Amino acid sequence: MGGPAGVSVVALGGRPEWVAASSSAWAYTVVVGAAFAVAVIWCLVYVVRQRDVLPLVMLVGGLISMGLEPAVDTLGKVWYAHDNPWVVYVGMGVPQPAFLLMGYSLFWGGAVYIASRMVGKGTSIYKVFAAVFVMDLFVEYLGVSVLGVGLYYDFSPLKFWGFPLWWAFVNAAAAVVGVWLVLTLEDRMTGWRRAVFLVTPATAFGTTHAACAWPVWLALHSDAPQWAGYVAAAYAIAMSLGLTAFVATELRAKLLPGSRVDGGEGRWRSPLAAH
């Protein structure tokens, strides 16, 4: 089958469009929706009490970042059933259920904001990486392997119990990059400039996935042997760890003298503190 420019799309592989939504999909949607509602209420209260819109803007930014989901779904071979509850839209042919929209907001907006507060008070960025890695595994295995609300189809390297482990490394690195962007930009972007954080989650998510996962995507959509996929997965993991080490170095330089971001206690020093 050829596209308008004569480019074959057969390499994308057949999607499992026959898959029906799990009976647990409604329960999963309700639980994620409840968490999302609590997060929105907390952000609104924070805006009123603290006169700071940053948490709310980050939550909205997380919603916006869902626009990237169809791309990573297509490239990473992920599928969601057409009859999942409240399909918000279909992007690149992949249905995007409501639990994804709310999950993106909570994960890439809310969780990244909370992690930035923790790192600002001295928590190790490596601990953030580890926490997001574990949290991602929990969410993926619960949603995909236990409840069956999504599916990673066809071959993917390091796939264990239905989820490719390399993906958790990339997601953790994306959160780390998001924390770095928030801490770097926060004191510079005040007032109406806070609007820049509407695109911060998408920037962290998109750039990190592109930088780390592109060899895996290429392997999944080519006639390369499976061992090449494992090499690509090793690259993705190495890049994820390398990005985290880079961010740790950058953050360390912005801490008060005598403190450390890679394991010790410290307090974030504003980039404007020296001016």
Q: 47-95: per-residue pLDDT in tens? A: 999 988 999 999 999 999 999 999 999 999 999 999 999 999 999 999 9
DSSP alpha helix (H) spans, the chain:
25-50, 54-65, 69-76, 98-104, 112-120, 125-140, 165-185, 200-220, 226-252
pLDDT tens per residue, range 116-167:
999 999 999 999 999 999 999 999 999 999 999 999 999 999 999 999 999 9
Residue 92 lies in a domain: yes
- Asked whether residue 66 is assigned to any structural domain, the reply reads yes
Give residues with Cβ within 8 angstroms of 199, minimum separation 6. 61, 64
pLDDT band at 11 (very low <50, low <70, confident <90, very high): very low
Print the domain residue range for 126. 20-252
The answer to whether 152 touches 77, Cβ cutoff 8 Å, is yes
Other beta carbons within 10 Å of 209: 24
How many domains does one find in the chain?
Answer: 1
- Predicted confidence at residue 264, as pLDDT, reads 47
- 133 is a domain residue: yes
In this structure, is residue 233 part of a structural domain?
A: yes
> Is 26 contained in some domain?
yes
**7 confidence band (pLDDT: 50, 70, 90):** very low
Residue 267 lies inside a defined structural domain of this protein:
no
101 belongs to a structural domain = yes
Share of the chain above pLDDT 90, in %: 80
pTM of the model: 0.87
Task: Establish if 271 belongs to a structural domain.
Answer: no
